[in-house]
Chains A and B, each alone.
Chain A
Amino acid sequence: MKKLILPAFLFASWMAFLQTDLPVKGKNFLPALGRFLSPFHGIWQNVTANPISFNIQGHTREGVKILFDERDVPHIYASNLADAMLAQGYLHAANRFFSMDLSSRSAAGRLSELFGTRTIEIDRKQRERGFEWSAIEKASHWESYPENKQIMDAYIDGIHLYTRSLSYKNWPLEYKVLSKPPVEWTAVHSALTLTNMAIALCLREDDLAYTHAQNQLSAEEFAFLFPDHNPLESPIVPRGTIWNFNPVYPGKGPSVISNGHLHPPLNDSRHEDLNGSNNWAVSGGKTKNGAPILANDPHLGLTLPNIWYEVEIHTPEMSVHGVSLPGLPLVVIGFNEDIAWGSTNSGQDVLDWYQITWQDSSRRQYLLGDQYTSSSLRPEVIQIRGQPSVIDTIRYTHWGPVSKSGPHKDMAMKWIGHQKATSNDVEYLQKINKARNLAEYRDAVAAFQYPAQNKVFASREGDIAISVAGVIPVRPSGLGERIADGSNPDLDWLGYIPIEHALHSINPERGYVSSANQAPAAPDYPYPQLGRRVFEDFRGRVVNQVLDSLNDITPRDMMALQDNSFNLHAAEVLPLMLDMIQQQNCLKEEDRPVFNRIRQWNFEYHRDSVAPVFFDLWYKNFEALVWDELDTLGIMYPEEWRLTEIVRDHADHSFFDIQDTRDAKETAADIACLSFSKMITQYHALPSLQQSSWGAYKQSVIPHLARFPLFGSDVLHTSGGRHIVNAMSKSHGPSWRMIVELSTPVKAWVNYPGGQSGHPASPHYRDMLEHYFEGAYYEVILRKDPASWSPLRQIHLTP
């Protein structure tokens, strides 16, 4: 017996060691090596993901055929919608389950369950904001719509069909690396998927920044730097539209603002990454073959795999093609046999912050009106991998959940995503997927909740339209751009803009509708428009100028417009800056070649051009020197169109005086010279590769979703950038490009940066990426008859 002790102890210890995840440097983990390195089960089994054909039996009411084309885009042929949704759920899970899981965890504040202490602050913030709580409410709200519940249930059954078939051997790679099993998907996870999108698109937090700016600046200074409207703006609903209604809420109320004891915002609130999106539709009168054309390229953070999953669905009631959002059923942006539709973010401000006055340090009772009211408490358990859980209690007030820390400490958020819905999101998706004409599109749009979107439309009948869809609150005057006094119950939202007053444009005289996240209407629209400052107007103006100038339009013209890299901001401000250099006569002779190069530039942000590098560096220095006072005070920068105006019309304004040079009083021209000189120094300090071109300087990279190095793209040299129709920045840009010609049959040209599979070993993980950045499109025609084409592989679901 004694002889056995040593080998048995060593063997058991070794196996226990192999079974255990190993902490590394306190924050990371090595997966348990036994199963991870097992050639039979572990990571070695993830080196191939060649798509194959197979049958699955016993889950559908009738048979479903899924045929895959050359890009691995599935074409689902089903006899009823529920079966089609089951198939879509299966496909989403089979190709993107880790993306779905991560997206829902990110919104819920459950990342630390996977990543340990590294993500605890993110989780804490998400819990404080009550996203999971509102997703639970949303999922339960969906239950009250029997028809849509049936669709959701079938979709989730499809997800389970895949996930429940998984053993460790065929877990997606990311789960093996993280050594955690895939989650059991529920409707709450689907609701969180939607919440995550809403967080990305409509969770502005500028109220604090604006309040801080107003506290620090005089009223005149604030009005000078932050005017409400750009006089050059080209709104979505054309100027001159007659508003033949009175607003149901007059919008008058008490002055609302709490100015006391506020922390300054932590960062400049300029939305560097929010490049926006574009969509437009041109009427048959402007196109070469007389059929309307619709184009859409929504800009989002780019990752591998891409946020979208392309799909085609055929049922007796619809044939639809487009992109879906894994985690939700149906097609989000796409076309069917009769219509096409697309979306851009409206950028409406649908989030307000209220300063809470607590009765005492227990933070249980808060002042509302003339009495103290109890907050409701929701305990939050944040499970942290490798560490004990953190238990937190979030307080919910009349306004919403209250932040416990950070700049919003003791402020409650009122957000559209937390409000009780009046319809449901699946209903909107169902209606728009099945819509046949303008009336059905309008009916679908009326069911849309949030985040507010500019929904563009074109039909084979010849109609074009755009609608600002989504519920948009009407507030007492002044509320929405500053922190409100949470003890004043009169500061609540008054209601929502009624659907009949919502902004839309149908078959306008100019022959096109468009949006690029700019202001939806001119200032004479009867309801206050908040949220304009998220996106500037340069792209919208370029799109409208190009569409105004074009006739006999072809799909190729629309491709060129989506790839347009002209920077209107540079075109407006750079000549002023160049003139100032010449007037000041401050140019050194050795810098003249650079100066000449900039002067000869055509304002195109082409990846092979070096002039955008000079402009980018020069402008950043110029702007920082002009706004040094604001930096000192921690105030956000004004919009860039406003700086152009100030340079043009107020070149001697005191804002141009540099604070650090007390004896001198600088003007805009002095700053132009100084920033030019700084630009030259910075340019020469760049690595030589980055000096060569805009693409090399920008170094675009599409990272892996969980930021696993090497699983993302290599460095890409891309054209485009901020304020440009082709809004490709470092890792943010057009996530899907679609052009649809509403001819008979409907034809489309599409592409997106990535590939259909979420498995890094798959040949379809990133097979469209290079084509995408070459500006290539894939032609798509609905393939209604499964017998009319030869798929590369197929999956059959039999009853």
Chain B
Amino acid sequence: MVTFTPNPSYTMNSTKGFIIPILAMVIAVGAAGYFGPWWGPAASLVIFNVLLGWNSKKSALFSGLILAVLYLGISLMMYTRDEAKIIHKTGALLGGMSALAMALVTVLTGAISGALAGWTGSVLGSMIRSSTASVVK
């Protein structure tokens, strides 16, 4: 009988190799959002994905997720502080959206921006790498 025994060091390494860049991206995107312009998070995701060398699907998926989750988290945090129902009122003013709809549109905006940034960064990164490799040859 053949039994499968996972290699603990391999799992740990691959998890580290995944979580660390994700965490770094979250921090960088958060910092870019807080200190930079509104497009700072998307720009930082492009740069990160150029450097990471992930494939396009992975880049788009995780970049979209990171920005969506970050937007969702901050939106929820602000929503809980919204005693004057500013989001609800603003949503109503801009076409009858509820606070939930405002949050969803916000998250969607983040997800699309992140995904497109990730995809662009990934393709740009692979182009840079391939051109660098051809120069080295």
Contact = CB atoms under 8 A, between A and B. Distances in A.
Interface of A: 1, 3-4, 7-8, 10-11, 14-15, 18-19, 24, 30-31, 33-35, 37-48, 168, 173, 177, 708-711, 760-763, 765
B117 interface: yes
Given A11-B117, A39-B71, A42-B38, A3 B123 contact: yes
A173 B123 contact: no
A763 B81 CA distance: 12
Interface string B1-44: 00000000000000000000000000000000110011111100
Contact of A47 (B33, B82, B116): B82
A709 B93 contact: yes
B119 A39 contact: no
14 contacts: A3-B123, A4-B120, A33-B105, A34-B109, A37-B109, A39-B33, A39-B75, A40-B74, A41-B38, A42-B38, A43-B86, A47-B78, A708-B93, A761-B84
Given A11-B46, A15-B42, A173-B90, 16 more contacts: A7-B56, A11-B116, A14-B113, A15-B39, A24-B95, A34-B113, A37-B102, A37-B106, A39-B33, A43-B86, A44-B87, A46-B86, A47-B87, A709-B92, A710-B88, A763-B83
Interface of B: 33-34, 37-42, 46, 56, 70-71, 74-75, 78-79, 81-84, 86-90, 92-95, 102, 105-106, 109, 112-113, 116-117, 119-120, 123-124, 126-127
A177 B92 CA distance: 12
Contact of B116 (A14, A33, A34, A42): A14
Nearest to B108: A37
A7 B123 contact: yes
A18 B113 CA distance: 9
B127 A4 contact: yes
B92 A39 contact: no
A3 B92 CA distance: 42
A765 B93 CA distance: 18
A624 B71 CA distance: 59
A11 B119 contact: yes
B32 to A, nearest CB: 9
A6 B70 CA distance: 26
A48 B81 contact: yes
Given A7-B123, A8-B120, A40 B84 contact: no
Given A708-B93, A761-B84, A39 B78 contact: yes
A168 B86 CA distance: 17
Given A7-B119, A11-B119, A40-B34, A177 B90 contact: yes
Contacts of A24: 95
A41 B33 CA distance: 8
Nearest to B60: A7
B103 to A, nearest CB: 9
B108 to A, nearest CB: 9
Contacts of B127: 1, 3-4
Contacts of A48: 78, 81-82
Contact of B38 (A7, A8, A35): A35
A43 B81 CA distance: 13
A29 to B, nearest CB: 10
A30 B94 contact: yes
Nearest to B76: A39
A37 B75 CA distance: 9
Contacts of A45: 78
B26 to A, nearest CB: 13
Contact of A173 (B46, B86, B112, B120): B86
B113 to A, nearest CB: 7
A166 to B, nearest CB: 15
Contact of A15 (B71, B106, B113, B124): B113
Contacts of A30: 94-95
A40 B123 CA distance: 28
A765 B84 contact: yes
A43 B97 CA distance: 14
B123 A18 contact: no
B74 A39 contact: yes
A7 B95 contact: no
B137 to A, nearest CB: 19
Contacts, number: 119
Contacts of B56: 7
A4 B124 contact: yes
A761 B102 CA distance: 17
B109 A44 contact: no
Q: Which of A14, A41, A45, A47 has the most CB of B within 10 A?
A: A47
A708 B91 CA distance: 11
A710 B84 contact: no
B106 A39 contact: yes
A45 B38 CA distance: 12
Contacts of A760: 84, 86, 89
A711 B90 CA distance: 9
B90 A43 contact: yes
Contacts of A765: 84
B113 A761 contact: no
A4 B93 contact: no
A188 to B, nearest CB: 31
Which of B38, B82, B92 counts the most chain A CB atoms within 10 A? B38
Nearest to B105: A37
B123 A4 contact: yes
Contacts of B88: 710
Contact of B81 (A15, A33, A47, A711): A47
Most chain A beta-carbon contacts within 10 A, residue among B71, B88, B106: B106
B72 to A, nearest CB: 9
Contacts of A37: 102, 105-106, 109
A11 B121 CA distance: 10
Nearest to A711: B89
Nearest to B116: A11
A27 to B, nearest CB: 13
Nearest to B109: A37
A305 to B, nearest CB: 13
A9 to B, nearest CB: 9
Most buried by B among A4, A7, A765: A7
B116 A710 contact: no
Contacts of A14: 112-113, 116
Nearest to B70: A39
A552 B95 CA distance: 58
Nearest to B84: A761
Given A3-B127, A4-B120, A761-B84, A38 B38 contact: yes
Contacts of A709: 92-93
Given A39-B74, A710-B89, A710-B93, A44 B120 contact: no
- For the complex of A and B, 3 pairs with smallest distance between CB atoms: A39-B74, A40-B33, A35-B38
Contacts of B84: 47, 760-762, 765
A30 B41 CA distance: 22
B92 to A, nearest CB: 5
B16 to A, nearest CB: 28
Contacts of B106: 37, 39, 44
Q: Quick one: which of A3, A168, A177 has the most chain B CB within 10 A?
A: A3
Contacts of A173: 86, 90
B93 to A, nearest CB: 6
A701 to B, nearest CB: 15
A8 B124 CA distance: 9
A376 to B, nearest CB: 43
Nearest to A766: B84
A34 B89 contact: no
Nearest to A34: B38
B38 A10 contact: no
Nearest to A39: B74
A704 to B, nearest CB: 9
Find the residue from A10, A24, A763 having the highest chain B CB count within 10 A: A10
A45 B74 CA distance: 10
Contacts of A44: 74-75, 78-79, 87, 106
A45 B71 CA distance: 12
A304 to B, nearest CB: 12
